[in-house]
Amino acid sequence: MPKTAVIAPPEAPKDCDICPRLAGFIAANRVAHPDWYNGAVPSFGDATGRLLIVGLAPGLQGANKTGRPFTGDYAGDLLYSTLDKYGLSTGKFQARPDDGLKLKDTLITNAVRCVPPENKPTGAEIVACRQFLISRIAAMPKLKVMLALGRIAHDSTVRALGAKPNASVFGHAKRYVIAGPNGPLILHDSYHCSRYNTNTGRLTTEMFHNVFAAIRRDLDA
């Protein structure tokens, strides 16, 4: 069973050992791939920004390898090109943490900070890692808009805000207003920008862009 920290910082320590299964998976990857990042992946971007994007968890050969969310796997190609299109980044995304990319007014985090086997965190791991999401949200004084990528990110975000999950059910392009620690927050939902969702046509580039157009309107309002 995962252990629970008393007061969580907004970022998990790189060698976080709260979830034994995840810590063991990372330890095995450290042996197999000593040149990879292999640790809890910190949020990336502007911690004073007004937009917080919540992903699921680091990909094995993406964020777990490079140490930056959505960097090194397909999901990042769509996410970062979309951030660029909507004026939320500067520089050129080159799928490397040293590519010089900067996010504008935006922070990217994950509901679960450590890579889970087969991209599937357990319910207990999602609950255990939520303390960092709660602290992350509370530590963003100007936070106005959030984007949950997928149902797990949505549910964990709603619970992190202490809201009733039944009152705000996940759905692509849904938009909710939920009370946050520093004022009301707008929560947008999108299907996760994973290769699986885009290959199957569940999420098209246009659908993803439309969600960001709505986010842009909220930021500019």
Site residues (vs ligand URA, CB under 6 A): 55-59, 62-63, 69-70, 73, 75, 110, 149
User: Are 108 and 68 spatial neighbours (Cβ–Cβ below 8 Å)?
Assistant: no
Count how many residues are written for the chain: 221
Smallest gap from residue 184 Cβ to ligand URA (A): 26
Smallest gap from residue 193 Cβ to ligand URA (A): 8
d(CA 219, CA 221): 6
In the bound complex, which residue of the shown chain has the CB atom lying closest to ligand URA? 55
Closer CB to ligand URA, residue 19 or residue 184?
19
Partner residues linked to 179 by β-bridges: 184
Q: Name the residue among 114, 76, 109 with its Cα closest to residue 95.
A: 76
Closer CB to ligand URA, residue 84 or residue 182?
84
Closer CB to ligand URA, residue 39 or residue 55?
55
Smallest gap from residue 89 Cβ to ligand URA (A): 16
Q: Around Cβ 97, how many Cβ atoms within 10 Å? A: 17
Q: Around Cβ 141, how many Cβ atoms within 10 Å? A: 11
Smallest gap from residue 163 Cβ to ligand URA (A): 22
Closer CB to ligand URA, residue 188 or residue 220?
188
Smallest gap from residue 124 Cβ to ligand URA (A): 19
Exposure b/e, 164-202, CB count within 10 A at least 16 = b: eeeebebebeeebebebbeeebbbbbbbbbbeebbeeee
Closer CB to ligand URA, residue 69 or residue 180?
69
